[in-house]
């Protein structure tokens, strides 16, 4: 178990070491990408884990539930409006709006689930939210001057590479806040796994815990989405990979593994992008090629559950 | 002692039962009976603070539920529910550990006292052989036992079980009754459970709480209940 964890660390760091030594000259270009991929992958994967526990639904993930989309809508509104906004709000505004969007969708979902929504309906609802927001965004795009549209389209491709050294500190700061908040959760998540009622009977304030999950998860998704664009699949597959490797459910073990697997997935995608740089592939297409089969495999294995 | 007066219970803004009076004392073994839909689960969940009461007074050791913290309540009472547990790869021992949550630190680490009480419960319920299995792979009887173990390591003075005998075969039912009797009479725990198995419990429990078709709660010893004719009117027995 520990070796699995360690080897994952090694894989992650192996990637880092490899790219560093290979491209020493351009480390200023590569280094931010590696940092960004490491944190973004980890945060998204952790957000996926939180969502799966929250909804007791192994197919929950920030992309499938439309939380990425909510974030995107926030960012879209911000980028479209950026022509009218003062310079001073530029850096913080994007993550802030992403956070609002993510929280909006999550709160909506949490409220509806309270009304006894089945597992499948939840996912369909997530897809509906995602398609609603993307339609809304394309309407916005058509109504906006071209410079902002170009910025937005670049962002909406989703990439760990769009960051400059100036943006990096804010991203790292938000990532650390996210990680610190994550560290406070394992005990309560463990209690929550066996069901809301049992958690309550063990003295947990379920209402405030759920609220803090919504807040933390939205922060994680928003941080990534604001800086990297909507990134798919990591949030849903990393928890599955972690669980099937560890064969444990204790969040104290699962959470770090999920984080590192998320990081490894993001770094791996980066690595492929570097090797295939002459084709300028998109991050999300690579993740889709890895992610979709993994989910399909899971569905096949667990078909009796759904 | 858990005490209630003029208690109304219900959910989703609907009142199911009202004007309930009663008390549960340590050392008592109590069975809650009533036809399906009478409101047994609802009453049980209100008594365990899982559902809020609609109105009336409800107190534990003279302190009302509202003025005690959830954690204080959790250290005095524990539940075994009918809800299914869906966690994959959850080990029996880890599930039992969770029962100590009200006592452990923010990380959920076990102290020596925690480990000791877990060890005692495991040997009391003879769970040594399955403690490293996955919960999802157990039989219904074993699951029930493990959930009971989780509740017991919570060190409750009041133990509540919602229809614990429903999915069990006859030997497991009898064994569970023995265990519950042992807990209430030897360990001075109050044990309160809902059930439909009148034949099984009649000779074991101290009191039967019967919710009749009109939503009235009758609290009687099994002998009094039999002579009262209530069983005939409610269960055609």
pLDDT at A162: 66
Domain ranges of chain A: 2-295
- When pLDDT is averaged across residues A245-266 and rounded to a whole number, the result is 91
- When pLDDT is averaged across residues A279-301 and rounded to a whole number, the result is 87
Mention every residue, 6+ apart, whose C-beta is less than 8 A from residue B172.
B141, B144
The tokens 């699951």 sit on which residue? B143
* Residue A23 reports pLDDT greater than 70: no
pLDDT in tens, B8-24: 999 888 899 999 999 99
pLDDT at A11: 53
The residue in chain B having the minimum alpha-carbon distance to the alpha carbon of residue A246 is B89
Question: CB–CB of A203 and B70 under 8 A?
Answer: yes
Q: What is the ipTM of this complex?
A: 0.94
Residues 182-211 of A with CB under 8 A from B: 184, 186-187, 190-191, 193-195, 197-198, 200-205
* Residue B122 reports pLDDT greater than 90: yes
The tokens 């569970």 sit on which residue? B176
Helix (H, G, I), strand (E, B) or coil at B153: helix
pLDDT at A22: 53
- When pLDDT is averaged across residues B118-141 and rounded to a whole number, the result is 93
Helix (H, G, I), strand (E, B) or coil at A6: helix
- When pLDDT is averaged across residues A232-250 and rounded to a whole number, the result is 90
Measured between alpha carbons, how far is B25 from B191 in angstroms, rounded to an integer? 9
The CATH classification number of A2-295 equals 1.10.3470.10
pLDDT in tens, A63-115: 889 999 999 999 888 888 877 777 666 677 888 889 999 999 998 888 887 76
pLDDT in tens, A184-197: 999 999 999 999 99
Smallest CA–CA separation between B218 and chain A, in Å?
A: 27
CATH fold of B2-235 reads: Rossmann fold (3.40.50)
Question: CB–CB of B71 and A194 under 8 A?
Answer: no
* Residue A6 reports pLDDT greater than 50: no
A/B interface, count of CB pairs below 8 Å: 83
Helix (H, G, I), strand (E, B) or coil at B226: helix
CB of A212 within 8 Å of a chain B CB? The answer is: no
Task: Report the Cα A102 to chain-centroid distance in Å.
Answer: 11
- When pLDDT is averaged across residues B91-120 and rounded to a whole number, the result is 93
pLDDT in tens, B140-176: 889 999 999 999 999 999 999 999 998 889 999 999 9
Domain ranges of chain B: 2-235
* Residue A117 reports pLDDT greater than 80: no
Question: CB–CB of A202 and B106 under 8 A?
Answer: no
What average pLDDT does the structure give for chain A?
Answer: 83
Mention every residue, 6+ apart, whose C-beta is less than 8 A from residue A179.
A42, A43, A259
pLDDT at B226: 85
The residue in chain B having the minimum alpha-carbon distance to the alpha carbon of residue A190 is B98
């Amino acid at each position: 178990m520990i070796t699995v964890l360690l080897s994952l660390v090694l894989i992650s760091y192996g990637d880092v070491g490899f790219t560093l030594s290979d491209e020493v000259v351009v480390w200023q270009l590569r280094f931010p990408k590696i940092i960004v991929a490491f944190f973004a992958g980890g945060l998204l994967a952790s957000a996926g884990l939180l969502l799966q526990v929250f909804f007791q639904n192994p197919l929950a993930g920030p992309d499938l539930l439309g939380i990425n989309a909510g974030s995107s809508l926030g960012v879209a509104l911000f980028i479209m409006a950026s022509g009218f906004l003062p310079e001073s709000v530029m850096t913080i505004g994007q993550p802030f709006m992403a956070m609002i969007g993510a929280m909006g969708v999550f709160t909506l979902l949490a409220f509806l689930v309270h009304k006894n929504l089945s597992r499948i309906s939840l996912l369909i609802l997530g897809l509906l939210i995602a398609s609603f927001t993307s339609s809304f965004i394309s309407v916005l795009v058509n109504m906006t001057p071209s410079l902002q549209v170009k910025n937005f389209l670049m962002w909406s491709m989703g990439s760990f590479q769009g960051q400059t050294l100036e943006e990096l500190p804010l991203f790292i700061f938000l990532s650390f806040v996210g990680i610190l908040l994550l560290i406070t959760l394992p005990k309560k998540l463990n209690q929550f796994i066996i069901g809301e009622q049992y958690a309550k009977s063990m003295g947990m304030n379920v209402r405030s815990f759920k609220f803090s999950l919504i807040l933390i998860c939205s922060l994680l998704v928003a941080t990534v989405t604001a800086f990297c664009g909507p990134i798919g699949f990591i949030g849903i597959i990393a928890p599955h990979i972690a669980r099937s490797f560890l064969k444990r459910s204790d969040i104290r073990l699962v959470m770090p593994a999920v984080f590192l697997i998320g990081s490894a997935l993001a770094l791996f995608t980066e690595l492929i992008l570097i090797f295939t740089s002459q084709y300028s592939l998109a991050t999300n297409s690579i993740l889709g090629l890895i992610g979709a089969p993994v989910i399909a495999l899971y569905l096949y294995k667990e078909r009796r559950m759904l | 002692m858990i005490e209630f007066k003029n208690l109304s219970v219900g959910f989703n803004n609907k009142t199911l039962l009202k004007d309930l009076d009663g008390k549960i004392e340590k050392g008592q073994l109590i069975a809650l009976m009533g036809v399906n839909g009478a409101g047994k689960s609802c009453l049980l969940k209100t008594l365990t603070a899982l559902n809020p009461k609609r109105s009336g007074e409800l107190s534990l050791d003279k302190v009302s539920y509202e003025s005690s913290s959830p954690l204080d309540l959790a250290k005095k009472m524990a539940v075994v529910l009918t809800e299914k547990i869906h966690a994959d790869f959850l080990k029996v021992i880890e599930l039992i550990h969770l029962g100590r949550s009200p006592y452990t630190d923010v990380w959920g680490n076990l102290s020596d006292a925690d480990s000791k009480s877990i060890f005692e419960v495991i040997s009391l319920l003879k769970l040594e052989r399955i403690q490293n299995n996955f919960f999802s792979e157990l039989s219904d009887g074993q699951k029930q036992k493990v959930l009971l173990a989780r509740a017991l390591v919570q060190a409750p003075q009041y133990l509540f079980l919602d229809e614990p005998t429903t999915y069990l075969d006859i030997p497991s039912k009898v064994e569970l009754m023995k265990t519950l009797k042992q807990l209430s009479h030897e360990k001075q725990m109050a044990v309160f459970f809902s059930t439909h198995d009148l034949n099984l419990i009649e000779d074991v429990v101290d009191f039967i709480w019967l919710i009749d078709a009109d939503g009235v709660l009758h609290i009687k010893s099994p002998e009094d209940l039999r002579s009262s004719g209530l069983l005939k009117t409610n269960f055609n027995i």
